[in-house]
């Protein structure tokens, strides 16, 4: 695996992990009634997901141009990590909305 692909793969893992951590912190903040912090943490998670998508787009563009890379366990892990982080962030938004609704009553 070349250095450029390794950097992109590690970017997916790193930014995906950051997004998931921020989403978890957002849920914890909402649970405490701190919706301002929860909203900021969700924005932080979304920003990390954008960065992860940039890494992914580079790999996809390379593939579309015919420059195929060898798929390794690390590659699969990075994609799984990103998709889990996207799903977790989406779920966190819903959980925060539930806490917000409960707080409003």
> Among the residues of the chain, which ranges form H helices?
3-31, 35-64, 73-104
33: enclosing H helix or E strand: none
The active-site residue out of 53, 77, 81, 101 is 77
Give the pair of three-digit tokens for residue 76. 């699969």
81 included as an active-site residue: no
Note whether 30 and 100 are within 8 A (CB). Answer: yes
Residues that are catalytic: 77
């Amino acid at each position: 695996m070349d250095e450029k692909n390794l950097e992109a793969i590690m970017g997916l893992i790193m930014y995906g992990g950051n997004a998931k951590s921020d989403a978890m912190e957002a849920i914890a903040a909402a649970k405490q009634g701190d919706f301002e912090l929860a909203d900021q943490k969700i924005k932080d998670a979304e920003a990390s997901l954008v960065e992860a998508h940039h890494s992914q787009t580079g790999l996809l563009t390379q593939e579309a141009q015919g420059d195929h890379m060898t798929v390794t366990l690390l590659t699969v892990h990075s994609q799984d990590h990103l998709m889990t982080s996207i799903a977790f962030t989406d779920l966190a938004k819903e959980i925060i909305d539930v806490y917000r609704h409960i707080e409003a009553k």
